[in-house]
């Protein structure tokens, strides 16, 4: 493979976190479909190679003796390289070329080691043909060029919708994001309407979530309706409990798709956290795992969701209509935010299509086609809380799976209101039990309003516990990372075992033939 020494340091130093970006040209690393391998050696300044392969992150250089090691990259679009201050060494690419790495202290000494992060990009080579290019433009996987939606005359033009929100009450999101300036970091998840990936916005080192919604058959009706709804989303100013919207784009790729850029929430959605918790419990069967979703956490989540809903309604008359665990996001700063409001699901999928598995958080009045108010979202919140603390969707779990959507819908309408379980090892504060009961009232007019719930004792009793909740979020973040690592290792093990089995089968066939 041809390789030219790249301009390693892609300028920017983040002041706050002392981050620098290190960019390798796309083809600098001759990776294969499964990633690439880098050999490192740290011989100078007495740095040793810690070889801490932490997800996409590699940490180099700890304290004393010199050493070297191999680092295998999984198939990633980007990775981080952490160099301790004072680290000096070489990074050997598997094409026999080497890059010098230096991270000297200002005084050039090795004292006061501090972590400095260098990010570089290892693009998964879709086109593995060698290239000599060193242009930084080639480092970043270029996205499709955004194009006009082709709205009918008089409708919103590209410029009015396909830019990020400009100003807000609590600050500004600043410049618009260009898709070309994004580097994909990996898939976060996918839902009924599309796929969400994590991406790095290179100019300001901001991590964003990029949601792609395919629009089948160039359906202009759908596109135009989405554009109208995205316009509403764009107009929503920043709020502590609403995921910030950075922009929306319509692209002509192999298929047409709408791209929505939004704030990345680093602990993910409640459904994901619940899954991580379940796996954590399964791995710690011997020691009784402390429930993650305790009174404090549920109170803070409820408070965040209710405040977000109230803001959307009072300021914009928006009713969310789709409160469910995957639409409530958390970050390690202790923030709770709701997402996915405003984009009409019915345009993308019918109710039956959106019904996956055994859950729907729709209120009885909505199912029955009655007038739907913001209290429908209160019902959904009640179900979300029950699901978080029991680990099961309340109207369909515990080995009592409904027979399809019609059975589930009739359960919601005809069966008694869902409640928090009592006994069987469950213990909840009485305030929490009352709170959930007030959310899960089937008769809409009897159900508590958002304002009433925000004044409930269950919300007030944890008001002064922000610090504890923040601590919880940080811990959850660590557990998510551990879970990812364990699952990655498990996958690798399974792959290896499969390979070994295939080899053994091949050897047996060869032996039989001969
Ligand atoms: N801004 C974000 N930050 C971090 N993770 C996100 C963000 N937005 C979405 N996700 C994650 O991506 C997953 C997929 O989101 P998406 O909105 O496509 O579908 P969904 O909400 O799960 O289902 P549906 O399409 O039915 O609404 C979510 O479950 C969530 O875990």
DSSP state of 179: G
What pLDDT is recorded for position 136?
Answer: 17
Catalytic residue, chosen from 271, 322, 340, 483, is 322
Give the Cα separation of 347 and 321 in Å (integer). 14
Give the Cα separation of 378 and 396 in Å (integer). 19
Q: Treating both helix axes as pointing N-terminal to C-terminal, what angle do 270-283 and 375-390 enclose, rounded to 10 degrees?
A: 10
Whether 243 is in the pocket of ligand 1, judged by its Cβ within 6 Å, is yes
What DSSP string describes 423-470? BTTB---HHHHHHHHHHT-SSGGGSPPHHHHHTSHHHHTTTT-HHHHH
Q: What is the chain's alpha carbon radius of gyration, rounded to the nearest angstrom?
A: 26
Closest C-alpha to 162, from 257, 244, 231, 256: 231
What pLDDT is recorded for position 218?
Answer: 60
Q: Which residues are annotated as a binding site?
A: 211
Give the Cα separation of 251 and 182 in Å (integer). 15
- Between CA 411 and CA 416, with CA 413 as vertex, the angle to 5 degrees is 70
Residue minimizing CA distance to atom 20 of ligand 1: 191
pLDDT averaged over consecutive 10-residue blocks of the chain (514 residues)? 27 31 34 32 35 34 37 40 49 49 43 32 33 20 27 28 34 56 91 88 91 75 72 83 88 70 96 95 74 96 97 89 93 94 51 51 83 89 96 74 73 87 89 98 95 98 97 96 94 94 92 87
Closest C-alpha to 281, from 296, 268, 292, 271: 292
Extract the tokens encoding 440. Answer: 């899960």
Extract the tokens encoding 164. Answer: 């990020």
What pLDDT is recorded for position 350?
Answer: 41
Query: What phi and psi values does residue 152 have, to the nearest 5 degrees?
Result: -60, 155
Whether 325 is in the pocket of ligand 1, judged by its Cβ within 6 Å, is no
What pLDDT is recorded for position 385?
Answer: 98
Q: Treating both helix axes as pointing N-terminal to C-terminal, what angle do 375-390 and 295-316 enclose, rounded to 10 degrees?
A: 160
What pLDDT is recorded for position 251?
Answer: 63
Whether 188 is in the pocket of ligand 1, judged by its Cβ within 6 Å, is yes
Residue minimizing CA distance to atom 11 of ligand 1: 189
Annotation marks residue 353 as catalytic: no
Atom of ligand 1 nearest to the CA of 263: 1
CB 322 within 8 A of CB 341: yes
Whether 190 is in the pocket of ligand 1, judged by its Cβ within 6 Å, is yes
Q: State in Å: Cα 487 to ligand 1 middle.
A: 20
Express each pLDDT in 480-489 by its tens digit.
999 999 999 9
Write b or e for each residue in 390-419: b if 16 or more Cβ atoms lie within 10 A of its Cβ, otherwise e. Answer: bbbbbbbeeeeebeeeeebbebbeeeebbe
In order of their start, the domains of the chain are: 178-263 (3.30.200.20), 288-328+339-466 (1.10.510.10)
Query: Any idea which residue has 């007495």 for tokens?
Result: 46
Q: State in Å: Cα 331 to ligand 1 middle.
A: 14
* Residue from 268, 270, 320 whose mutation best tests the ligand 1 pocket (most atoms within 8 A of CB): 268
Strands (E), 124-255: 182-190, 195-201, 206-214, 245-252
Query: What phi and psi values does residue 380 have, to the nearest 5 degrees?
Result: -60, -40
* Residue from 187, 257, 274, 326 whose mutation best tests the ligand 1 pocket (most atoms within 8 A of CB): 326
Express each pLDDT in 27-82 by its tens digit.
333 322 222 334 344 433 333 333 333 323 344 433 333 334 444 444 333 344 44
- The strand pair at 182-190 and 195-201 is best described as antiparallel
Give the Cα separation of 292 and 301 in Å (integer). 12
Residue minimizing CA distance to atom 1 of ligand 1: 264
Whether 185 is in the pocket of ligand 1, judged by its Cβ within 6 Å, is no
Whether 268 is in the pocket of ligand 1, judged by its Cβ within 6 Å, is yes
Characterise 213 by phi-psi region: left (phi > 0), alpha (psi -120 to 50), beta (else): beta
Q: State in Å: Cα 192 to ligand 1 middle.
A: 9
CB 37 within 8 A of CB 71: yes
What pLDDT is recorded for position 89?
Answer: 56
Q: State in Å: Cα 340 to ligand 1 middle.
A: 8
Q: State in Å: Cα 50 to ligand 1 middle.
A: 35
Q: Which residues are annotated as a binding site for ATP?
A: 211
């Amino acid at each position: 493979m041809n390789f030219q020494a790249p301009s390693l340091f892609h300028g920017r130093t983040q002041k706050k976190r002392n981050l620098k970006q290190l960019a390798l040209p796309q083809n600098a690393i001759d990776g294969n479909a499964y990633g690439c391998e880098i050999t490192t050696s740290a011989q100078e300044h007495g740095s040793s190679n810690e070889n801490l392969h932490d997800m996409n992150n590699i940490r180099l250089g700890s304290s004393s003796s010199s050493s070297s090691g191999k680092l295998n990259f999984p198939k990633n679009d980007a990775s981080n390289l952490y160099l301790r201050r004072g680290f000096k060494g070489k990074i050997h690419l598997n094409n026999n070329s080497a890059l010098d790495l230096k991270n000297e202290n200002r005084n050039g000494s090795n004292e006061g080691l501090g972590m400095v992060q260098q990010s570089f990009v290892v693009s998964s080579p879709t086109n593995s043909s060698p290239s000599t290019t060193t242009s930084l433009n080639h480092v970043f996987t270029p996205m499709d060029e955004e194009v006009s939606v082709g709205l009918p005359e008089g409708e919103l033009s590209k410029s009015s919708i396909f830019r990020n929100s400009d100003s807000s009450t609590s600050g500004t999101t600043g410049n618009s994001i260009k898709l070309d300036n994004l580097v994909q970091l990996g898939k976060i998840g996918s839902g009924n309407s599309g796929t969400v990936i994590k991406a790095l916005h290179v100019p300001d080192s901001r991590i964003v979530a990029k949601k792609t919604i395919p629009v089948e058959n160039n359906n202009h009706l759908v596109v135009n309706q989405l554009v109208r709804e995205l316009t509403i989303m764009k107009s929503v100013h920043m709020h502590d409990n609403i995921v910030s919207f950075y922009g929306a784009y319509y692209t002509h790729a192999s298929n047409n798709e709408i791209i929505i850029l939004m704030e990345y929430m680093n602990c993910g959605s409640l459904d994901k956290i619940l899954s991580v918790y379940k796996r954590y419990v399964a791995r710690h069967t011997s020691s009784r795992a402390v429930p993650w979703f305790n009174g404090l956490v549920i109170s803070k989540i409820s408070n965040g969701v209710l405040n977000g809903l109230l803001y959307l309604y009072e300021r914009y008359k928006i009713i969310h209509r789709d409160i469910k665990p995957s639409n409530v996001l958390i970050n390690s700063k202790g923030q709770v935010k709701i997402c996915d409001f405003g984009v009409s699901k019915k345009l993308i999928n019918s109710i039956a299509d959106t019904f996956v598995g055994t859950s729907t958080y729709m209120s009885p009045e909505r199912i029955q086609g009655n007038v739907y108010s913001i209290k429908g979202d209160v019902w959904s919140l009640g179900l979300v809380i029950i699901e978080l603390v029991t680990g099961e969707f309340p109207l369909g779990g515990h080995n009592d799976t409904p027979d399809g959507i019609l059975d589930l819908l009739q359960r919601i309408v005809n069966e008694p209101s869902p409640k928090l379980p009592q006994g069987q090892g469950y213990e909840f504060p009485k305030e929490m039990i009352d709170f959930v009961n007030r959310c899960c009232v089937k008769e809409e007019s009897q159900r508590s309003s958002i304002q009433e719930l925000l004044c409930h004792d269950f919300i007030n009793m944890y008001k002064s516990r922000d610090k504890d909740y923040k601590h919880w979020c940080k811990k959850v973040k660590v557990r998510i990372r551990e879970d990812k690592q364990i699952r990655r290792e498990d996958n690798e093990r399974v792959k290896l075992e499969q390979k070994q089995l295939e080899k053994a089968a091949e050897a047996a066939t060869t032996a039989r033939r001969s």
